[in-house]
Amino acid sequence: MRHSRTVFLPLALFGALLLSGPVAAQDEVSSVAEEQGLIRGIVRDAVTGREVADARVALSSNAGMHSSDSTNSNGQFTLDSVPRGSYTITVDHPDYIPLTQQINTDGHPTFGVQLSMRKKLAAATPAAPEPSPAPAAPSAPSAASARATGIPRPAQEAMNRGMELLYVKSDPRGSIGQFERAIREYPDFFEAYTQIALARTSLGDPHDAEKAFRKAIELSQEQYADAYAGLAVLLSNEKHFGDAEAAARKLIELNPDDWRGHGERARALHGLRRFQDAEAPAEQAAKLAPENPTVKLLLSSIHLQLNKLPTMLEDLDAYLKLVPRGAESDRMRELRVKVQQAIDGAQNRAPAR
């Protein structure tokens, strides 16, 4: 499978935490298949989680092009009259790296997909000279100030080639060479260091990934949100939850409206078993990214630990509404049955008043 992934968030799925024992995944296909169905989906920005409007979505198979649509203002698209089978979805938008993903429709009348795209590096141009302003109080340096003179075009080109290798062609090792070339052309290219860190993470090299994230933070004068987001994910993956929580708090300071900071802070607090403290940032992440299914799973795990089983059911229902099909959805549907049984059992054991 070749596709662009949301590499920062990627909050880990918390299905394994939802029960003390493993839940068997059901991957059975309905024996009653419809002749034709719909593919409905939504396209989001992989970093911000916001919907991408006016993206062209095309569906093809070995027989050729099948159908196409453009996303609406909510990032949604519909591909109709789709027989059961294997297909390739391609998504194009002038501001984003093209996305390609393989899917297998399972015979249900409606098949749902969620797609994430990463933006291309915007071309930078030198800032026009301006009259000297009146003296003002000094302000904190920002990442934007490092871009005032523009990034050399060879560095931009190498960066975009590296991102295509990493996110479209699933070649993290090859992408690193392009990102390193971009840095040679522009040594202060903290975005390239961040991409190296993400490539190192996908290659299972957390030590060098952390070094690259911290180099990006240093070069950006501690102002680059994406580096903090990636660092928080990495540190939680390595179970360094205290350090992960500190990185997430810094991300929230930089941008309180970035759901990743709240989500990763909640995840780190969950890892520290501070479930009561984790609830509020997880709810804030869900508020800022209401259609992000992984946040629903994080909330469901927190509410399980807090013994808020009815609220956990709401979390699972919200997740299944967003992701109605797939192996993980089958597991969550099984889990929902078990949670409902636990609620019913507790009510039956409660003494009558």
pLDDT of residue 214: 98
Residue carrying the six token digits 């049984």: 341
pLDDT of residue 124: 44
pLDDT of residue 36: 61
Residue 49, both tokens: 């989680």
Phi, psi (degrees; rounded to nearest 5) at 116: -125, 135
pLDDT of residue 119: 83
CA distances from 323 to 114, 275, 291, 306, 331 (A): 8, 25, 10, 25, 12
pLDDT of residue 125: 41
CA dihedral (293, 36, 55, 164) in degrees, to 10, reads 70
CATH architecture of 37-117: Sandwich (2.60)
Is the pTM for the entire model greater than 0.85?
Answer: no
Which segments in the chain show pLDDT lower than 70?
1-36, 48-49, 106-112, 121-149, 350-353
pLDDT of residue 318: 93
Pick from 247, 285, 250: nearest CA to 266: 285
pLDDT of residue 211: 97
Q: 25-58 pLDDT, tens per residue?
A: 223 222 323 356 778 788 888 776 678 889 999 9
Pick from 265, 201, 203: nearest CA to 229: 265
Instruction: For the chain, give every domain's residue range.
Output: 37-117
pLDDT of residue 75: 83
Q: 137-172 pLDDT, tens per residue?
A: 333 333 333 353 478 889 888 988 888 888 777 789
